[in-house]
Every structure is written in structure tokens, then in C-alpha cells.
Structure 1
Amino acid sequence: MGRRPGSRITIRAIADEAGVSIATVSRVINGRAAVAPATQEMVRQAAKRLGGLSGEPAAPSAEHAVYVHCPYMLTDYFGPIVTSVVETLSLHGRRAIVQAGEIAQSGTSSLLALPGQADIAGAVLILPPGSTEDLLSLHAQRYPLVVIDPREELPEDVASVSAAHVAGARRITGHLISLGHRRIGFIGGPDNWLASRSRLIGHASALAEIGTLVEPALVHHVVEPTTEHGYRAALALLDHERRPTAIVAFNDKTAAGVLRAARDKGLRIPEDLSVTGFDDSELSQNTTPMLTTSRQPLEEMGRMAVSLLMRLVAGHAVDTLHVELATPLVIRESTAQVR
């Protein structure tokens, strides 16, 4: 079956026609990896039937580019996400135009110029900061975009991929409850972040299951989820006249700050204080003791975002635009039975 005159063949169309995966088609077209000769021929014949792509390998063209916006340093959190996005785009035969770090911290105003750039097919935005006004303006123009780990709640028709923050936090606090803890401190991220609010909901939900309410005095939010801010918040919690027996931290970095604060207070971990993180970053396995934490599937978030974007670029209907990925509990040495 031939394509319509003037239409552009897509890798997905060839994959569907040949009965193979998109990654296989991309490898055949770009000549990047060994593919069985019979499979190569099947892909080339499918492309021929659709009226596009010669049998010769071709490098991805500029029209296949995708804009990747990450206004943060590519550290142990953002680095794996961006790497996964770029690698997955490559499998789809598309280039990534990455804007990250300080050069991307001027906000999202550059988004408004994207529809006028014919060489960019869509955008992946990672934890876009500030107001979502520009993002929504771009979406109103039906521009293909996907947000990874949105900072603010998005309308139902804006595609996004995030971790299951509520479920992950509920599982962590539930683990502490199972160890006998009842006075549990909570160090959240910035209180206007969607992830921070969601994790507090999960924390409160776990406590509610045993008939306990969250004590406001045991909840602290940091302006930035760093080790230093985690340290300061932990000192405030540990100075409470009835200090908590456990502290749930927003991420592994803030949890590392809690460990330092506990040591400065002469407390042993986990004998005197249990501590949990979130992310399961490399840091979580390099603290003393190693952190009990919740694993964020960072690479899978990147892969899922690209998958969603490719469907939007191809004009396919997408039933599930808001995707949440599981955050399994990883139990290590920083938690123990309450004394």
C-alpha cells in the first residue's frame, strides 16, 4: 500500500508494515548495528511498498530533530534521564538538540519559537521551571511535547511522564511503620513542587492507615533539595523536645544531610534514628550506612517520554497522556526497628 502524495513516511509505519520493532527499522535504515539479512530485506521491502526510503543506509536528517530542554546540571538525577532520551531518540532515527545547564536556565521562553523551526519535530521538557504559561501556549498550538517530572500539575491533555510519587512515599512510610515507628519526621522539597506535595500525601496516607495524623511540627520543606538544606532541616527536627524516631527525606541528597545532622547530635543510625531517601541514586549506596530509599526509574522515564512523543509526532491518538512509573522500595541499612 503506497503512502499519500506529499506525506512523509515514518519509521513506525515501516515497522508496522514489516512486522518488526521500531528499533530494528532504525538500525536497518541507519546501518548502526548488525541485523539479520532476511530482516533487513523485509524492512527494505516494507519501505518500498510504502513508497519511501531507498535501500541504502541514511543518517538521520535535520527534520528528525527533537528539542530536549533540561535547565539543570546533568548530575546523578538529570544525567540518566537526558542520556536515556538521547539514546532512545537515536533508535527512532532522530537527532536530539539538547539545551541543558546554565544555558537553559533562562526559563522556557524559547519554547514559543519552536513552531517556527521546521527542523525540530517536537520537544521533551524535563522538570520545566517557573510558570507553565509558555508551555501551555505551545501546547495550544498543537505542538508535540512531553514533560518529564512536571514541577506543577498539568492539564489532562498535556503528555507527561513521572514517578509514582504518592505510592512511593506511602511505601516508605509504611516500611517505617512496620518497624514500629510512629513519630516520623518528613523533609519535603519546595512546597510548590508537585512531587513534594504528592509525597507528603503518600506519607500522610500511610499514617492515616494506622489512625495517626501528620504532626505539623514534624514536617519541614526545603527551598532546594540539597545535602546542606537537608542537614539544616534535620537539625530543626532533632531539636524538637520529642524528637522523631525516623525521618523521611525528599531525596537521597537531603537524606545524606540528615545522616550528618544525626552524627552531629550524637545519634546512631539506625539504632537511634532511621532515615530514608528517595531516588536510589549512586549516593544512596555510598553513605554510611547505605540508605533505604525508593527507586526512581530515571532511564525508563526517558524512554517512555520519547515513546509518547513519537506517537504524538506521528499524529496517533494517545489514550494515556499522564504516565506514572512504579517506585519500588529498596531496603538497606539506614532503617531498623524502633527502640
Structure 2
Amino acid sequence: MARATVRDVARATGLSIATVSRVLNGQANVAEHTRELVLRTVAGLGAQAPRARGAKPAGPICVRCPYPLTDYFGLIVTSVVETLALHHRQVVLSAGTSAQRASVLPGLASRSDVAGAVLILPPEPAEELVRLRDRRFPYVVVDPRTELPRDVASVSAAHFAGARRLMAHLVELGHRRIGIIGGPEDWQAGDGRMAGYAAALSDVGVLPSAELLRHVDEPTTENGYLVARDLLDLADRPTALVAFNDKMAVGALRAARERGLDVPRDLSVAGFDDLDLSRATQPELTTVRQPLQEMGRMAVTLLMRLLDRHELEALHVELATELVVRASTGPVPRG
């Protein structure tokens, strides 16, 4: 893609080169309507905004994770913070469910006290992330909720490949009637995993059954229990259950136990994430390991390169997952 020059933008807007430069360098002494005019013009030219030259922006990094910092999110945030410390960067943390109600993104580019951001599963619509990019604020998304433009840096796990390998494992054990306890329907991770499950089933000529597919708004242990209970009460119940994460798989184990089903003799159960929780169940959970800490480290590496004004070619980075087979999955029940 061609790169616009400051002169091109100045000519198109009728502004001075100095004013355009101030906007593109993120300086605060520019009227907001002038800033928006320059950014709209850059976008209209069908080109990338020119990168400012000079020293790496100093200051803390905003780490936004609007969820409770337990297990999954806690591992990512801890890794991000520890890696930033290696780069001698302090952290401005926006975390917890109350942070979901805070409007953080629109003001980030105007803040003089932060140099960049790591955004973990941001709940904001993609349009807000694009606007932040257009203002040339450096940030990296970890585990994006929705599909992002190619030029927004992100790090995630290989959800499709991990889900396909997990389903292939169950198929190899003879399972064909497999219940899927899915997560929120608007999460990109869920889309990738569903595609992976479907691909493995199609390899043996099986189409996913709508009767055996359920989604929840929040992937909690309780919701996993409630959905598993409904699936196991079907007249023709599934021989295996695959949950969106390990927490919901734990709920599925509870539902199976209440119905007197032995896992894995009567029912196989599998999760996703490989949290410590997966090794604390009875039996221990078969699951897919996500490299959560490496996702945090990689996000910081990409952000540091953005702050150094490097050109990034691999902007959407997917890290490999690993199938971990434990005692909660076994051959399909006979009869």
C-alpha cells in the first residue's frame, strides 16, 4: 500500500505542513476538528498515515483487561506485566468487571501519561479499535473478541487447530454423537473452535447436530453445568461433551455425576485452556493447552516494536495449541 506523505495530506486538507505534522505526531496542541480532518483525509487517500520519526515514546503502558484477574486472565496479565518490567516500563492497569463500564479507548490517544497499550479481549466494537489505530496510538490486542483489520496487531491461540485435534481425538475413540457446550456466540475464539470441531467431524462424514450445540453468554462453571444437564437429559444423549473452556467442563462433570454416569466409561468430557483446574478434577480433564503466558510475552514484544517504529509484517500472530489427553476421555460406550 502506498504511503501518504505529509505534503500530500497538507495539500488535500489545505492545512500547513506543520499542522499536519503535529497531528501525525500525536501532539496535543491541535484542535479536535483539525485532528479529525487530517485523519479522515489520510483514510480517504487510501494510504497509511506517515509514521512519526524520533525517539521511542516514553511512559507507562496501559494494560486493559476488563475481567476478573483469575486463572485465564490472571495468567495473561501477569505475563504482560512481568515482560513490561524487563523493558523498564511501568503499568497503568484497567481491570475487573467494573472496567467494562469505563470508556477507556476514546481517550487513550490523547493521554500524555501512557505510551501504548495491551488490550486483552477488548469488549469494545471493532470500530473503536480502528479509530484508535487511525489516531496512530500504538497498541496490541490479545485474544481479540471480533475480527480485526489486517493492520491491527493481535496475538491469539490457534483455536481452529486445537479444536480440530481435540475433536479428532474423540472421533478416533469412536464418538460420533458429541455435545458441544459453546461460549458466547460473538467471540472470535468460539467461531474458530466451532469450525475446528466441524472439520474433524466432517472427516468421518458426520454433520454437527443442532440439537447437540448450545451457547452461553458467559463461560462459567455454573453455565457449563446447566447446559450439560440439558444435553444429558436428551432421549438420545451424547456419548461425549466438549466444553468451551475447562470451567464449563467442570460443570459438565458435575452434571454427569448427578446422573450416575461414570466418566469416561459412560461419558467422555473435554475442556479447553489447560488451567490448573483441569488437573484438580476427578478424573483429570482432557483439554487443549493454550500458551497464555507466551501470548502475553508476544504482545509486549509486538508493542515494543511498534514503539520503536518498526514495520510489522506478521500482525495477526497465532500461537500453537497442544492437545493434552488425560483420564476424562475414553472409548465410546458399547451398546
State yes or no: 1:71 paired with 2:66. yes
Q: Which residue of 2 aligns with 1:200?
A: 194
User: Using the alignment, how far apart are the partners of 2:71 and 2:162 within structure 1?
Assistant: 19
SS in 2 for 1:124: strand
User: Using the alignment, how far apart are the partners of 2:194 and 2:303 within structure 1?
Assistant: 30
- Residue 266 (structure 1) aligned to one of 257, 260, 270: 260
CA contact (8 A) 1:276 1:293 kept: yes
User: Using the alignment, how far apart are the partners of 2:325 and 2:83 within structure 1?
Assistant: 30
Within a 5 Å distance, the mapping from 1:230-241 to structure 2 comes to: 230-241=224-235
Give aligned-pair identity as a percent: 60
TM-score (norm 2): 0.81
Q: Which residue of 1 aligns with 2:126?
A: 132
Q: Which residue of 1 aligns with 2:275?
A: 281
User: Using the alignment, how far apart are the partners of 2:204 and 2:136 within structure 1?
Assistant: 46
Within a 5 Å distance, the mapping from 1:1-339 to structure 2 comes to: 63-107=58-102, 109-339=103-333
Q: Deviations over 1:125-172 (max 9, x none)?
A: 000114233222111112111000011111111111011111110010
SS in 1 for 2:235: coil
SS in 1 for 2:230: helix
Q: Deviations over 1:54-74 (max 9, x none)?
A: xxxxxxxx9331110000110
User: Using the alignment, how far apart are the partners of 1:131 and 1:117 within structure 2?
Assistant: 21
Unaligned runs of 5+ in 1: 1-51, 53-61
Q: Deviations over 1:251-305 (max 9, x none)?
A: 0000000000011111110000000000000110111111000001110000000
User: Using the alignment, how far apart are the partners of 2:255 and 2:189 within structure 1?
Assistant: 24
Deviates more, 1:151-160 or 1:112-121: 112-121
Q: Deviations over 1:4-63 (max 9, x none)?
A: xxxxxxxxxxxxxxxxxxxxxxxxxxxxxxxxxxxxxxxxxxxxxxxx9xxxxxxxxx93
Q: Which residue of 1 aligns with 2:31?
A: none
User: Using the alignment, how far apart are the partners of 2:236 and 2:321 within structure 1?
Assistant: 31
User: Using the alignment, how far apart are the partners of 1:231 and 1:113 within structure 2?
Assistant: 40
Amino acid corresponding to residue 223 of structure 1 in structure 2: D
TM-score (norm 1): 0.80
Amino acid corresponding to residue 97 of structure 1 in structure 2: V
User: Using the alignment, how far apart are the partners of 1:216 and 1:176 within structure 2?
Assistant: 19
CA contact (8 A) 2:126 2:147 kept: no
User: Using the alignment, how far apart are the partners of 1:227 and 1:189 within structure 2?
Assistant: 12
User: Using the alignment, how far apart are the partners of 1:295 and 1:334 within structure 2?
Assistant: 15
SS in 1 for 2:71: coil
Unaligned runs of 5+ in 2: 1-54
The alignment yields a C-alpha RMSD, in angstroms, of 1.5
User: Using the alignment, how far apart are the partners of 1:232 and 1:144 within structure 2?
Assistant: 42
Q: Deviations over 1:201-222 (max 9, x none)?
A: 0000000111111011010111
How much does 1:103 deviate?
A: 4.1
CA contact (8 A) 1:64 1:93 kept: no
Matched pairs, number: 279
Q: Deviations over 1:294-333 (max 9, x none)?
A: 0011100000000001111111000000011111001111
User: Using the alignment, how far apart are the partners of 1:77 and 1:67 within structure 2?
Assistant: 19
CA contact (8 A) 1:69 1:100 kept: yes
SS in 1 for 2:89: coil
Q: Deviations over 1:98-124 (max 9, x none)?
A: 1111442215x3222122222311110
